[in-house]
């Protein structure tokens, strides 16, 4: 979550306790989702270290806006994009 938004959502303390339930649940859900994403990224990095197509993934990640998940997904869908050897 954007650090600038966090105090706005989490810092709401005026009013009734009932008014704090939804923002708190939202923050908890966002934190859990961020933790899952971090865990999945670690698993992808671990899988990438032993993958024969690691150079292809790293080359794609050199493009602006292409990060690990996008590069690995693309390579997984397309397969080896290197030209065939004759």
How confident is the model over 21-61, as pLDDT tens digits? 888 888 899 999 999 999 999 999 999 999 999 999 999 99
Q: What confidence score (pLDDT) does residue 79 get?
A: 79
> Domain ranges in the chain?
1-49, 51-86
Going from the C-alpha of 86 to that of each of 56, 67, 78, 83, the distances in angstroms are: 20, 32, 20, 9
pLDDT tens string 8-21? 565 555 666 777 78
Residue 66's SS3 state is coil
DSSP secondary structure code for residue 15 in this structure:
S
pLDDT band at residue 7 under the 50/70/90 scheme: low
pLDDT digits (tens, 9 = 90+) for 69-78: 999 999 999 8
């Amino acid at each position: 979550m954007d650090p600038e938004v966090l105090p706005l959502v989490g810092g709401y303390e005026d009013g009734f306790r009932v008014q704090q339930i939804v923002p708190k649940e939202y923050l908890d859900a966002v934190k859990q989702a961020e933790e899952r994403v971090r865990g999945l990224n670690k698993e992808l990095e671990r899988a990438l270290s032993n993958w024969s197509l690691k150079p292809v993934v790293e080359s794609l990640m050199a493009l602006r806006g292409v990060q690990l998940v996008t590069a690995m997904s693309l390579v997984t869908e397309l397969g080896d994009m290197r030209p065939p050897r004759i």
